[in-house]
Structures are given as structure tokens and as C-alpha cells.
Structure 1
Amino acid sequence: MAAPTVDAAYLVSGVNLGGMSQPAERRPTGRHHGDLRNALLRAALELVGERGPYGFTLAEASRRAGVSVAAPYKHFADRETLLAELATRGYREQRNRFADAVGGSEDPVEQLASFAASYVRFAAEEPALFDIAFHAGLDKSRFAGLASAGDEVAGLLLPVARRLAPDADGASDLLLRVAGAAHGLAVFLRQGLFGAGSGALADTEEKAARTARAIARRP
């Protein structure tokens, strides 16, 4: 993230887009049936889910979306521009989820616990954007919208941490520790270390919440 000192990467990673994580419709004719921009985004997200953020080209995204290889350049200068838009929409989806999570309590400790659990769920439900956030190597200085979306997440969560910290630096440090713990648990879950299925996800959410409480209550 940008200011204060929280990196947006620590507060992230599918995005909704009307079921974006589902495979894009393909047409062998190369003619697209609807919204080209969103079709390309859906196709790219599907490819990221299969191969990682470095595992596809714009040409492959075009073929997956059922359009010509020249079509993406009407909307995206290059592959990184397309990925940056996915990441931006992903940050905004996260902010909405995190806002719902922290809105369930007035206690800042419980708000951070709910944020941590929501972080784990987002990573589990939206693995492709989770990978874009951490492995795509996007230059945030090149994409103002991406940096702004990260700031929105920080702007939501830092005031919560500030209620438990002596100053702004302490709040930033607290939030990073909570997010870092949630991130590690989310990665372990994705690697299968906690099992699979909805039960494993629920257990990991509880682990994240419990860990966040311990961090937040630490002097």
C-alpha cells in the first residue's frame, strides 16, 4: 500500500465481475458477443488460475475470450495493464468485504479479528487475484488506480488499528502484523496444510481471528 507505511500487497487478492472466476464464453468465429473488456478480464483471470500471472500472453487471453489477437489493444496497452485492472478491481472487492467484516463490531480487537478471517476467505475464494497481487510484479507507480485502490483498503483498516496503538507508526505496524499472520495462514490453507473443503476454510478463518486477537491484545 501507499501511505502511511502499509503496502497494499499485505491487504489483499478473483474479483466479482458477474462471476468472473468462471470460464469466459468462447466463440470460434472470433466475433465477440458482448462486453469485450470484461470478456478479456474474465479470460485472463481464468488463465492466471491455471498457470499463474506470468503464464499467459494477451494473444492467449484473446483466443480464450473468442476474439482476434488485436482486440485487447483497444482496451489494454499490454499484459501488465490488464493485470493491473484486475488487481484494482480486486482491491475494491476486498475493501467491500473488509468493510462488512469490521462493521460487525465496535470493538477494535474484534474488528481486526474479523478482518483477518475475511482475508483468509478472500484468498481461498479468489486465488487468481491473490496470485496477481503477490506474484505479478506490478509497478504501482505506473498504475495510479491500483495505488489508489490499495490506499482505500488502508484507509479503512488503519483507523481501526489506531484505536489500539499509541501512534500512527504503531498502528501501521499492528496492521502489518495482523495482515501478515492472516496471509501466512491463507497460504498454508492453499497449500493443503490444513486439509481441504469448507471445514478447513472455516477452521483457518478461526485460526486467523484467534491470532489477530492475540496480536491486537499484546502490549
Structure 2
Amino acid sequence: MAKKGYHHGNLRQALVDAALELIEARGPMGFTLSEAAKQAGVTPAAVYRHFDGREALIAEAAEQGYAIFSDLMDYAYQSGQPSALKAFEATGRAYLAFARKYPGHYIAMFESGISINRTPELAQVANRANGVLEKAATDLSQHIPEDKRPPASMFSAHIWAMSHGVVELFARNSPGRASPFPPEDLLETGIGIYLRGLGLVQPDD
């Protein structure tokens, strides 16, 4: 159903909201700018006052998604303090929670093919989310001598990849695929096994 009565200059956000609904329903390539305009209750010509094409509209949705994602990751990190392990694990759980609560944003960010370097603003907010995970990883590895310490950027990237894999395979209702365990449990045990293998946490932690 088309949205009616946008006013007070919020057309740009109305278009983003419309795009998010269409992205969630059809995927990032499954709609046109004209359909986004209709969903927002405006003429197609009105879209070009704010966006020069569908990719720009999706990029804005991705940028807003990364801002929400970064805030959630930071909140998760802070909530796990003062335990470095709990803070690190919390960021992984935040990834799953974000994908479930904001599917349109998630798709725009990770499945649309939009480069995070498309604009400086998008790159900045995307890197902020990654920075939270790297900070948590750095905290977790402080007890290891520097010359034996794995790079925080490496194992934080591995955890990001693991989180993404669990989301894609088991947390977003992949057709014909079901997990024998809750996605949160899969991720938590996977993180534990990985970190113990690197010697970052002890078996009884």
C-alpha cells in the first residue's frame, strides 16, 4: 500500500523506508525507482530530487543500516564489560539480532553489491562497526605476549565471517535449510572453539 501524505521535507526518508520494504520483499534488484516512488506516494520525478538512481537509494539505506548496526555493536560491547570474553561474544550475538530485526537494512548492506567505499560517509560508518569488533578482539588478546599474539584484525574478521555465515545459513530462513540448534548456540559454540584453538581463552573460561 502506498504511503500517503509525506510532508515537512521528509520525502528522502519516505523513499528510503519504501526501498527498505521493497528490498525485504523482493531483494535489492527486485524493484524500480518508480515502484519506490509509488510506495512512498510520490511521482517518479520526485525521487530524483534526492537520489540519482536506485543504487544511490540503496546506498542510503545501507548507510543508515550501518549506523544502527554500529550502535548495536557498541552497546553489545559495552554491556559485556568488564569481561573481555563476554564483550567479544556479545558483539557476535548483536550481529544475529541486527539481521533479524532489520532485514531490509541487512540486505542493503551485505547482499546488494553496494561497495562500502561508494561514498566517504558510507565508508566511515561501515568501518565504525568493524572497529568495535576489532577493539573487542584487541581487549581479548592482551594477556598474550605481543610476539605470540594473533592480529586482532585477523581473528575479528574470522568471527565476523562466522557470524555472517550463521545468519545467512540459519538465521534468515534460507529455503530448505534448517539448523538442529538455535543460531545463537551455533555461533556461541563456534566462537568458543575458535578462540580456544587460538589460545585466547582457557578451556574452563
* TM-score between the two structures when normalised by the length of structure 1: 0.77
The alignment covers a number of residue pairs equal to 187
1:54-93 → structure 2 map (5 Å cutoff): 54-93=29-68
The 8 Å contact of residues 95 and 153 in structure 1, kept in 2 or not, is answered as yes
Distance across 2 between alignment mates of 1:79 and 1:135: 15
SS for the counterpart of 1:55 is: coil
The alignment status of 1:216 with 2:192, answered yes or no, reads no
TM-fit CA distance, 1:92: 1.0
Specify the structure having the higher radius of gyration (Cα): 2
TM-fit CA distance, 1:121: 1.4
Unaligned runs of 5+ in 2: 199-205
SS for the counterpart of 1:141 is: coil
SS for the counterpart of 2:79 is: coil
Q: Find the partner of 1:177 among 115, 137, 158.
A: 158
Report the identity percentage: 30
Q: Find the partner of 1:205 among 164, 184, 198.
A: 184
Q: Find the partner of 1:138 among 94, 104, 114.
A: 114
The 8 Å contact of residues 77 and 132 in structure 2, kept in 1 or not, is answered as no
Q: Find the partner of 2:72 among 81, 93, 97.
A: 97
The 8 Å contact of residues 62 and 69 in structure 1, kept in 2 or not, is answered as yes
Q: 1:77 to 1:145 in 2, by over 3 A?
A: same
Q: CA RMSD in A?
A: 2.2
TM-fit CA distance, 1:139: 3.0
TM-fit CA distance, 1:41: 0.6
Name the structure 1 match of 2:130. Answer: 154
* TM-score between the two structures when normalised by the length of structure 2: 0.82
Distance across 1 between alignment mates of 2:188 and 2:72: 15
The 8 Å contact of residues 110 and 213 in structure 1, kept in 2 or not, is answered as no
